[in-house]
Amino acid sequence: MDEAGVRWTTEQVLALAPDDASRRAGARLSAAGPWSEAGSSGEGAVWGLCKGSGKKPYQTVIDTKGPAYKCSCPSRKFPCKHALGLLMLWAAEGESAVRTVVDVGEGQAPDWAQEWLGGRRERSEEQARKAKDAAGGAAGQLDPEAARRRAERRAARITGGALELEQRLADLLRGGLAAAERSGYGLWEETAARMVDAQAPGLAARVRELGSIPGSGAGWPVRLLEESALLHLLDLGWLGIDRLPAPLATTVRTRVGLPSPADGPPVKDHWLVLAQYDTSDGKITTRRIWLYGRESGRTALVLGFGAAGRSAQPALPVGLVIEAELTPHAGAGQLRADLGEEVGVPAGGGAPPPGGTTTAAVEAYGSALREDPWLESWPVTLTGVVPVPEEDGWQLADADGESALPIAPASLGRPGLWKLVALSGGGPVTVFGECGHRGFTPLAAWSADSPETVRLT
């Protein structure tokens, strides 16, 4: 197959939509006849004119490397419905012999599209040059002394926060967790605000989490004790950071909320996009993308962020393989990496990563905890597992054994679970997901009769 020419699938395009409304609006535009002068180049550009309510049609252009979008419509959604519709039109034509709706043939981009595409290319070359200069020359024009002073000031504030938090935890334990249920959420909210003041967002998030535990159902005192203890451990880690080995110290800094540098040696590889999903705290949407390197065998996590109402960036097509350079973040047992600017045109061929049994999965999580005690879960691939219903949920059982992993409670209400059960039909499947102390969160699956990646998020 011509690697450059692989078009995405409709599902992969739908996955880029910032919300359900755009997904539907996009699907509608993909079927309509409002498109004209649509076309695509073998190098990942897709363009078209879409007739809207006004006189002048909207100009929509997409660079599938990236991917990046531009549309002359006033929508604040990103990508907008026009970009989604055009991509779907383009995707649907990939293997269909029928070109009756709109022909998104190959060709030369019109001037208005070329302008933006060219600009993009120049910018990325510019950036690459800058990055090279920066790497080659000294640390830039920044004043290293001032930076050091700033860092020290912030560290001192965090230390103050950690000490205060220790005091709160001691008070909590002295008075008893039973009282925590009565004191309500307000107390924790206030403590979390103090941690924000102390410039320790990691601590603040954990404190907020503590506040939600007393209302979380049976067994909450045990969970509250566990999480308080781990928070205490993090405080101690910060307060004694000088005595920690360097990688663990970096992990503690990251957990507390200091930005960790992406300074590992870059890894160039063909990365299979395993999963992409968003979580939101109401203000910020966090996007998590799991990648598996075909040659390196590495699993990496790319994080993206978006303000409320805007979809997080980047957006990668699940199930396809992209060629890209990833720069790992520092820290013990960290999988986070930054995606390089240059992303090759996605290609097909999304066979699952090699996997193992449920036993191997919990062992992998256990060993990862040695490097980072605050890890909630660890990415694993399970091969030959069967989804099995049990009394209050589901589990994934080894097809040829007695062991099983319970599916994490948060996944039980999601549509992905039913896709997984349907795909299995009671037989073995391969599942990628996050394995942790709360159970297994399935994110992607493959079955013997359809090798393509089925998105469960």
Partner 1 sequence: MTRTTLWEELVTSALLGTDRRTPPADVMASGQDAPGALLDAAALHTLRRRAGLLPARAAARPEPAPHDDRRELPEPARRRLAQLLADRSAPAGTGGRRGTAPDLTELLPQWLTTANDQGYRAPAAALPALLDAARGRNDLRPHALAFAGPRGLWLARFNPDWKFALRGASGGAVLPGAGDTGAVARLWEQGLFAERVALLAAVRAQDANAARALLATTWPTERAEDRLMFLDSLRAGLSDLDEPFLEEALSDRSRNVRATAAELLSALPNSALAGRMAARAATCVSLDRTGGPTGPPVVVEAPHECDADMQRDGVSPTPPSGRGERSWWLGQLVEATPLSVWPGRLGDRTPDEIVTLPVLDGWTDELHAAWCRAAVRQRDPRWARALLGPPAASPATGPGASSLAERAKLLATLPAAERAGWVAEFIAAHGLSEAFQLLGVCAVPWSEPLGRAVVDALDIARDGGSYPWSFSGVMGLAERCLNPAEASRLEILTATPDEPEGASPGAGGYWSEAFQRLVSTLRLRAAMLSELTTGG
- Report 100-129 residues binding partner 1 (CB under 8 A): 100-101
The smaller minimum CB distance to partner 1, of residues 37 and 323, is found at 37
Kindly report the number of other CB atoms within 10 A of residue 248's CB atom.
Answer: 18
The smaller minimum CB distance to partner 1, of residues 250 and 395, is found at 395
Q: Report 326-355 residues binding partner 1 (CB under 8 A).
A: none
* 177 contributes a contact to partner 1 by CB under 8 A: yes
Q: Report 4-33 residues binding partner 1 (CB under 8 A).
A: 9-11, 14, 20, 23-24, 27-33
What is the closest distance, in whole angstroms, from the C-beta atom of residue 374 to partner 1 in the complex?
10
CB burial string 293-315: b at 16+ within 10 A, e below: beeeebbbbbebebeeeebbebb
Among the listed residues 4, 134, 170, 308, the single contact to partner 1 using CB under 8 A: 170
Write out the two tokens for 102.
Answer: 């709109």
With contacts defined by CB under 8 A, name the span among 133-141, 148-156, 175-183, 292-300 that binds partner 1: 175-183
Tokens 């008893």, located at residue:
176
* 187 contributes a contact to partner 1 by CB under 8 A: no
Q: Report 48-77 residues binding partner 1 (CB under 8 A).
A: 51
Dihedral sign (CA 257, 269, 114, 312): negative
* 256 contributes a contact to partner 1 by CB under 8 A: no
The smaller minimum CB distance to partner 1, of residues 50 and 68, is found at 50
Q: Report 190-249 residues binding partner 1 (CB under 8 A).
A: 221-222, 225-226, 228-230, 232-233
**Are 36 and 57 contacting, i.e. CB atoms less than 8 angstroms apart?**
yes
Residue 37: left if φ>0, alpha if ψ -120 to 50, beta else—which one?
left
**Are 190 and 223 contacting, i.e. CB atoms less than 8 angstroms apart?**
no
What is the closest distance, in whole angstroms, from the C-beta atom of residue 429 to partner 1 in the complex?
10
**Distance between CA 381 and CA 431 in Å, rounded?**
6
Kindly report the number of other CB atoms within 10 A of residue 289's CB atom.
Answer: 22
Write out the two tokens for 161.
Answer: 């926060």
* 88 contributes a contact to partner 1 by CB under 8 A: yes
What is the closest distance, in whole angstroms, from the C-beta atom of residue 48 to partner 1 in the complex?
15
The smaller minimum CB distance to partner 1, of residues 9 and 199, is found at 9
* 422 contributes a contact to partner 1 by CB under 8 A: yes
**Distance between CA 277 and CA 272 in Å, rounded?**
15
**Distance between CA 196 and CA 204 in Å, rounded?**
6
Give the N- to C-terminal CA distance of the chain in Å, as an integer.
28
* 95 contributes a contact to partner 1 by CB under 8 A: yes
What is the closest distance, in whole angstroms, from the C-beta atom of residue 241 to partner 1 in the complex?
17
With contacts defined by CB under 8 A, name the span among 260-268, 292-300, 332-340, 416-424 that binds partner 1: 416-424
Among the listed residues 5, 107, 118, 176, the single contact to partner 1 using CB under 8 A: 176
Task: Residue 435: name the closest of 399, 404, 408, 402 by CA.
Answer: 408
What is the closest distance, in whole angstroms, from the C-beta atom of residue 447 to partner 1 in the complex?
7
Paired strand residues for 336:
301
* 36 contributes a contact to partner 1 by CB under 8 A: no
The smaller minimum CB distance to partner 1, of residues 290 and 365, is found at 365
**Distance between CA 180 and CA 52 in Å, rounded?**
56
Q: Report 379-398 residues binding partner 1 (CB under 8 A).
A: 386, 388-391, 395, 397-398
**Distance between CA 5 and CA 36 in Å, rounded?**
22
